[in-house]
Structure 1
Amino acid sequence: MTKSTLKKLAAMALTLGLVTGCASTEQMNQMQADITKAQDDAAAALSAAQSASQTAGDADRKADAAMNAANAAQAAADECAEKCDRIMQKSMAK
Structure 2
Amino acid sequence: NLLYGEHVPGDISSKSYINAVRYQSAKFDEVFNAALREPNTEKRMELYRQADQIAVDDAATLPIFYDENTRLLQVYVKNFPANAMEYRDMTAVYFDKEE
Q: TM-score range by the shorter chain?
A: under 0.3
- Normalised to the residue count of structure 2, the TM-score between the two structures is 0.22
Pick the structure with greater CA Rg: 1
TM-score normalised over the length of structure 1:
0.23
More strand per residue: 1 or 2?
2
